A and B are shown apart, each in its own frame.
Chain A
Amino acid sequence: MGNFFRKIRLNTIIPIIGLILLFSILTFINPNFLSAYNIGALLDGAITIFIAGIGMTFVLLIGSIDLSVGAMISLNTILFILLVNRFGVLGYPLTILSGYIMGYLNGVLFTKFKIPSFITTFGMSGVYKSIALIVSGARPIGFDTSKMNLILYLTDSIGPFKVLHIVGFVLMVVCMVILKYTAFGRYVYATGSSEQATLYSGINTQQIKRLSFVISGISVALASIGLVAIKMSAAPSMGEPYQMNIIAATVVGGTAMTGGVGGVGLTYLGAFILSILSNGLNMFGVNVYLQQIFTGILTVVAISLTLDRTKIKLVK
C-alpha cells in the first residue's frame, strides 16, 4: 500500500511543483512572461503535444508505447488539408477516421500478432512517413483560399484563449472522466497494473489494448487538426519533432512507462511544463538546437522517477 501511495504522490506533486517553480522563476526574471500574448503562445506550444499526449497516456497506462505518433501527425496534417480542400467540412470526420484506422492498425498488429508495441509502432511510423511523402508530393501544402474559413475559427479568441485551447481542455476533462468513472477506464489501469490478473478476471485485455491504440490514433488526428489551425500549412515531416515531445510530456506529467500509474490531467501539466521550458529558453536566447537537450534530460529524469522497476521486464 505504501508503495502505491508513494508512487501516486510523487507522480502528482512533482509536476505541479515543477510547473509552479518554472512559472515563478520566469515571471520573476521577466514580468512580461505572464502577458496575455505569452500565455496564448504557451498554450499554442502545448496544445498539439497535449492532445496527442492524451492518446499516449492511454497507451503508456496499459504498459505499451506508441512510436508512430510523430509520423501519424505528419500524415494526418497533410491528409486534413487535402481532405478539407476537396470535401470541405467533411475533412474533419475523415481525418478523425484516418486517425482511427492508423491507431486500429497499430493495435491489431500489436495484439493479434503479439509483436511488442515499440516494434509495431516503430515499423508503422515508416509506413505513415512514406505515405505522407507520397500524398503530399514531398512538398509543403496549404489550404485553398476558399476553404480557409473552415479552419480559421479554431484560432478565434475567447478572452486570452483560443477556441482550440478550450477544445483541448474539454477533451482533457472528458478523458479524465473516462479513465476514472467508466469500466473501460478502470480496465486500462487494471491491464497496466497486472495484465495477467486482469485477463484471469475474465476481461478481454486484448480489446482494451487495441482500444488504447485507437484512442492514440484519434487523438493524434485531433492534434493534427489543431497543429494545422496554428500553422495553416502542413509538410511531410512536420510531425517528427513531436514524437519525443509527446512521450516527454506524458512521462514528465508523471505517467509511468511501466503502466498502471498516471492520468490525462498529468499529461496536461507535462505538456505545459515542456512548453514553458522551451518558451523560457527562447526568452533567454538559448539556441533552439540546444533545447532538445533539456527536454531529453527532463524525460529521462521523469522516467527514472516513475518507473516501477519490479515490472521492468514487461515494458513493451
Chain B
Amino acid sequence: MPKLLKMEGIDKSFGSTHALKVVDFEVDRNEIVGLVGENGAGKSTLMKILAGVYKADLGRIFLEGKEISINNLVEASTYGIGMIFQEQSVLKNIPVYENLFISHENMFTTYGVISKKKMINTAKRVLQEIGLDISPTTNTFNLNYSQRQLVEIARNIWLSEVSEIENPLIILDEPTTVLEQAEIDFIFAKLKQLKERLSIVYISHNLSEVVALCDRTYILRDGEVVSCLGKSDTSVENIRDRMVGQGSFNDNEYYLTDLQRIPEQEVVLEVENLHKYMEFEDISFKLYKGEILSLCGTVGSGKEALCESLCGLRQSDGGKILINGKRAVIKNPYDAYKYGIGYTPEDRRNAGLIQDLPIYENMTLPILTNLRKALLFIDRVTQKELCTNAVKTLNIRLQSLQAACSSLSGGNQQKVIIAKWVLSKVRILIMSHPTRGVDVKAKQQIYEVMRDLVNKGISIILMGDSFEEDIGMANRIITMKNRRITGELEATQSKPAFSDVLEKIV
C-alpha cells in the first residue's frame, strides 16, 4: 500500500534564494511527523507548497500513489490537506459554526435559504467528534488560541469529510509558541487523540515538544533534508546535533571574523528590568561601544518585541533604558532617533524604504531638517555630496541617486537603509534580519559594512537571519526563551558552539 503522501524532488527558489533543494518528504496514515530546522531552513516553504500557497519549481506530489497537482488552498482542501497558520484564519467576530462552514454555507440550504439550524447541528457533531466542548453558537472571540486552533482543525476535518477523504492531512505551523503550558498540554492531548483519524505535520522550534509528540522527525537545514529520525532515535540532543551546520559559523572568511574588533569599555546602552506584559520580562543587559550584540531566540522568545520597544515601535510597561548613562524615555521612533537609535526593519521593502522616492531622499530622510540653508530650503549640494560619499563607502551599486529605491536589489536596498542611519550619525543600530532574502555575495557585503560600522564606534544589536549568522557576527550573544533572558555567551575571543546557543533557546 503506498504511503498517504509523498513529495518527491521538491525544489523552490525565490529570486536568488534557493529555498528548497530537491527535498523528499513522506507522511503515512495516522502519523504525526515533526519538521524542524532553523529560521529560513525551508520548513514553512515546503509545507506551503503542500498546502497550495506556493508552487514548487520542480518535483512531484503523490497522494496515495497518485500524482496530484495543488495550485491553491482550495484545491489542497479537496485532497484533505489543510494548513493551520500561526496567524490564524478564523474570524473572531462571528459564531463558531459560521467559522466552521465559512464559504460553504450553500451546503446547508433549505428551499434555497441557508438554514442556521442545519449548520448548528452539523457543527455540534463536528465539534463533538474532535472533543471540543464548546457550543457552536459561541462567538469566536470567547475562545482561546488553542480552542481556535481546534476549530480550524475541525473545519479541515469536515472539509475532507465533504470531499470523502478518509485520512486528512493537517499541517500545524508552530502551534504552541504563543501558548501557556496548560494550553499546550490540552492541545497535545487532542492531537494524540486526533491521530486515530488523520495525519499531522508538526512544524516547531520547540524540540522537546517534537520529541514528545512526533512519530518521525524531518530535520531541514539550508533547504535540504539532513535527517529523518524515527521515534526511537529522536531526542532533543540528537535533533540539535543534526540542526548544526558543519562549522560554517566559524568560517573566518564568511563572517569576516578577522575584522572583528574588541568592543570598548564604554557602555552606550543599558537596559534595566525592562518588561512588557505577555511580550518580555525582566530584561537587563548592557551594550558597549563598538560592539555587535546578538539577540538569539526563536519566534515568540520576546526578542522582536524587545527590539521594537527599544526603537519606539511599541512601549514597554516598565523598567529603565539608559543611553550613555542618562535615562531615556522612548515612546515612538522619533524619540529613538533623538537618542541616536536607528532601526533596520525585517520588512525592508515596506518599512525600511519609501520605494517610490528617489534613493538620495531615502538616504537623507531623517536629516533633511538639518540640511537647511537659508529660508528652510534643503541644501541640495551637501545632500548630494553626503549621498555620493555614502554610496562610495558602502559600495552601493546603483544607476543614479535620482532613481526610485524599487530599482535596487535587496542587498543594495539594505545598504541604502544602513547609509540612512550612518548619515544620521546614530550611535546604536538595531538590525532585524539584515540579510534576509539576499544572496550570499550581498550577505557578505552587508557583513563587511557591519564590521566597518562598529569600527567607527557604532554599536549594533543584531537579530540575525540564522543562528550561525548571530554567532559568526557577534561579540556577545544574549539568548532568550519564553520572554526571558536565559544566558549570555562571549563570542569575541572564541565562538561558542552552535549547540551551546541552541541549548539555551529551545
**Pairwise interchain contact A260-B371, C-beta atoms closer than 8 A:** no
Q: Is B424 an interface residue, CB under 8 A from the partner?
A: yes
Q: In the complex, how many angstroms separate the beta carbon of B370 from the nearest chain A beta carbon? A: 9
How many A-B residue contacts, CB cutoff 8 Å? 83
The docked-state distance in angstroms from the alpha carbon of A298 to that of B292 is 57
The docked-state distance in angstroms from the alpha carbon of A196 to that of B308 is 14
The docked-state distance in angstroms from the alpha carbon of A168 to that of B7 is 69
**Pairwise interchain contact B333-A200, C-beta atoms closer than 8 A:** yes
For B350, B355, B366, the residue with the greatest tally of chain A CB atoms inside 10 Å of its CB is B355
Q: Is A190 an interface residue, CB under 8 A from the partner?
A: yes
The docked-state distance in angstroms from the alpha carbon of A199 to that of B312 is 10
Q: Is B403 an interface residue, CB under 8 A from the partner?
A: yes
Q: In the complex, how many angstroms separate the beta carbon of A201 from the nearest chain B beta carbon? A: 5
The docked-state distance in angstroms from the alpha carbon of A187 to that of B353 is 13
Q: Is B354 an interface residue, CB under 8 A from the partner?
A: yes
**Pairwise interchain contact B355-A183, C-beta atoms closer than 8 A:** no
The docked-state distance in angstroms from the alpha carbon of A194 to that of B342 is 18
* A190-B357 contact, Cβ under 8 Å, with A201-B420, A202-B366: yes
Q: In the complex, how many angstroms separate the beta carbon of B418 from the nearest chain A beta carbon? A: 13
Q: Is A145 an interface residue, CB under 8 A from the partner?
A: no
Q: In the complex, how many angstroms separate the beta carbon of A254 from the nearest chain B beta carbon? A: 15
Residue of A nearest to B426 (CB): A202
Interface size on A (CB < 8 Å)? 25
Chain B residues near A189 (CB-CB < 8 A)? 357
**Pairwise interchain contact A193-B354, C-beta atoms closer than 8 A:** yes
Chain A residues near B406 (CB-CB < 8 A)? 1, 3-4
Residue of B nearest to A177 (CB): B377
**Pairwise interchain contact A202-B354, C-beta atoms closer than 8 A:** no
**Pairwise interchain contact A183-B369, C-beta atoms closer than 8 A:** yes
Chain B residues near A86 (CB-CB < 8 A)? none
Q: Is A136 an interface residue, CB under 8 A from the partner?
A: no
Chain B residues near A146 (CB-CB < 8 A)? none
The docked-state distance in angstroms from the alpha carbon of A182 to that of B353 is 20
Within 8 A of B (CB), among A154-191: 177, 181-184, 186-187, 189-190
Within 8 A of B (CB), among A1-43: 1, 3-4
**Pairwise interchain contact A200-B343, C-beta atoms closer than 8 A:** yes
Chain B residues near A292 (CB-CB < 8 A)? none
Residue of B nearest to A194 (CB): B354
**Pairwise interchain contact A1-B354, C-beta atoms closer than 8 A:** no
Residue of A nearest to B375 (CB): A182
**Pairwise interchain contact B357-A193, C-beta atoms closer than 8 A:** yes
Q: Is A127 an interface residue, CB under 8 A from the partner?
A: no
For B345, B376, B424, the residue with the greatest tally of chain A CB atoms inside 10 Å of its CB is B376
Q: Is B365 an interface residue, CB under 8 A from the partner?
A: yes
Chain B residues near A233 (CB-CB < 8 A)? none
Chain B residues near A181 (CB-CB < 8 A)? 377-378
**Pairwise interchain contact B361-A186, C-beta atoms closer than 8 A:** yes
Chain B residues near A193 (CB-CB < 8 A)? 354-357
Q: Is A232 an interface residue, CB under 8 A from the partner?
A: no
Chain A residues near B356 (CB-CB < 8 A)? 3-4, 193-194, 260-261
The docked-state distance in angstroms from the alpha carbon of A283 to that of B424 is 58
Instruction: Give me 14 other A-B pairs in contact (C-beta within 8 A), A4-B356, A197-B350, A199-B333 excluded.
Output: A1-B403, A1-B407, A3-B356, A4-B404, A183-B378, A186-B361, A190-B357, A197-B351, A200-B311, A200-B351, A201-B337, A201-B365, A202-B333, A204-B334
Q: Which 6 A-B pairs have the closest CB atoms?
A: A202-B337, A183-B368, A1-B407, A201-B365, A4-B404, A183-B369
Q: Can you give 11 A-B contacts (C-beta < 8 A)?
A: A4-B406, A183-B372, A186-B368, A194-B350, A196-B350, A197-B353, A198-B365, A201-B333, A201-B365, A201-B366, A202-B342
